[in-house]
Amino acid sequence: MEIGLQLEQTQKLIITPELRQAIEILQLSVTDLLEFTTNALMENPLLEAVEPEIQGDDANKMVRTIDWEKYTRKSREYQERREFSQETAQDNTYESMTASQTTLEEHLLNQWHFMVLEKDIRRIGDYLIGNLNSSGYLSISVQQAAADLKVTDDLVERTLQQLQTLDPPGVCARDLRECLLLQIDHQEMDATEKKFLCTLVKSYLPEIAKGGLLHIAKALELTPAVVQGLVDKIKRLNPKPGGCFSSSEDTTYIIPDVVVEKDGDEFRIILSEGYMPQITINDAYAKVLMDQSQGDHAAKTFVETKLNQAAWLLRCFEQRRSTLTKVTEALIRRQRGFFERGISAMRPLTMREIAEDVGVHESTISRTASNKYIQTPYGVFEIKFLFTPGLENTKGGTVSTESIREVLREVIRQESPSKPYSDQQIALIMAEKGVRIARRTVAKYREEMGIQSTALRRRY
């Protein structure tokens, strides 16, 4: 063996911290980007959030003299676009996207405390209400509650019966049967009808779930049409009486990252940045860097470093906006039928096709579409929803799976309730419409869309 030095040239990809940050910003949703921007403003003193009307030109002039013109120019251009987007979202602040309403526990306690009760009964009721799940069901047994409170089972049972008289009907039940029976008991109806409904709930829920109405009709000596009517009334009851109330945590709604609006024969793209603070370079710190008489070298070095970081961050924000806009433009070109007519007009589309249109790598498209939503004339969808595989049609072309699902929904909507189509019949009808699909694929799509089987869709 011999020790020596040699020189060789190699190529390899190194992800710098700056590049990693750019990738991270690209794949952030608008809500995550808001949090990221807030943290950046706290960590970098050269960044500041300003209102459009109070932003001056001093900081921009200073930054130009030190070769940061391209960043501040883009910031001003973004500000102009942002003023337009704010017009569409002037009444929609970030805080307004959070729902605040009475919880089930608060609703029940308000009723419970207005009732004239013994001290022990009220204490037991408070405890039971505190042990309801989000659907309004009691999550512990009577025996467990009695043991926890050191009272008798009978006292807890009597308290529970009083709680079950509260609004909404069916609340504080221990299972689905009890929940439905409580709701039936609250309703005013013919005694015979109420008796049959209670019988169905107590003894025939599994058969109802399977669609065995003929078996039930025979057992109860009723016609299938009468049983169908009774079952319809049961299905109109609420199996989750607590579901209409908010949980202990507020509900946060989706904020679309990009909005596509019809504008005559064309489409207009609006990035949802009205919720974002406008950030720019802090002019006070820029003066420190420009002041030639400044003798503190350490301070100047610190400000230079932070200025580099701030400028790179502004560039990353601009790159994110540019990429998201270009991807949306390419999606409109490739999926124009969807934006004009809806899901039924979707065509098969891959990320590679969009990547070729935009001139970037396929992974960039994946990051751009990740965790983001687009608002279209036909609803709000994940951007990834617009990328869909396809199946071959009867003409030798391809059709997207989402448009196939839409055709399937339409076929089922047009079927006779008394004679619903089987999966094989649906496959044959879709073939006549130009969609080649197997029976098992029909069953798969139907189950994915939550559409019931032939037996459960049948009406008597």
For 371-385, the pLDDT digits (tens) are 899 999 988 999 998
Encode 81-91: b = buried (16+ Cβ within 10 Å), e = exposed: ebeebbeebee
Please say whether the beta carbons of 241 and 135 come within 8 A: yes
pLDDT band at 160 (very low <50, low <70, confident <90, very high): very high
Q: What residue spans in the chain does CATH classification 1.10.10.1330 cover?
A: 104-235
User: Is pLDDT at 258 greater than 70 in this prediction?
Assistant: yes
Q: What is the mean pLDDT of the chain?
A: 81
Indicate whether this model's pTM tops 0.75.
Answer: no
Q: Which residues contact 307 (CB under 8 A, 6 or more apart)?
A: 46, 66, 68, 281, 285, 286, 289
Question: pLDDT higher for 143 or 89?
Answer: 143
Q: Which pLDDT score, from 0 to 100, does residue 412 have? A: 92
Q: Which pLDDT score, from 0 to 100, does residue 26 have? A: 86
Q: Which pLDDT score, from 0 to 100, does residue 383 have? A: 92
Q: What residue spans in the chain does CATH classification 1.10.10.60 cover?
A: 389-457
- Ordered DSSP codes for 279-340: EEE-HHHHHHHH-TT---HHHHHHHHHHHHHHHHHHHHHHHHHHHHHHHHHHHHHHTHHHHH
User: Which region among 97-111, 136-150, 163-177, 405-419 has the lowest average model confidence (pLDDT)?
Assistant: 97-111
Pick the CATH number of 104-235 from 1.10.3210.10, 3.90.1150.10, 3.10.20.740, 1.10.10.1330: 1.10.10.1330
User: Is pLDDT at 153 greater than 50 in this prediction?
Assistant: yes
User: Is pLDDT at 63 greater than 80 in this prediction?
Assistant: no
Average pLDDT over residues 208-217: 88
Q: Which pLDDT score, from 0 to 100, does residue 57 have? A: 47
Q: Which pLDDT score, from 0 to 100, does residue 95 have? A: 45
User: Which region among 9-13, 235-239, 278-282 has the lowest average model confidence (pLDDT)?
Assistant: 9-13
Q: Which pLDDT score, from 0 to 100, does residue 65 have? A: 40
CATH superfamily for domain 389-457: Homeodomain-like (1.10.10.60)
Average pLDDT over residues 305-309: 81
pLDDT band at 286 (very low <50, low <70, confident <90, very high): low
Encode 325-356: b = buried (16+ Cβ within 10 Å), e = exposed: bbbbbbbbebbeebbeebbbbbbbbebeebbe
pLDDT band at 196 (very low <50, low <70, confident <90, very high): very high
Rounded Cα–Cα distance for residues 55 and 279 (Å): 10
Please say whether the beta carbons of 127 and 149 come within 8 A: yes
Q: Which pLDDT score, from 0 to 100, does residue 29 have? A: 84
Strands 47-50 and 278-281: antiparallel
CA-to-CA dists, residue 360 to 340, 351, 353, angstroms: 27, 11, 10
Percent of the chain with pLDDT over 70: 80
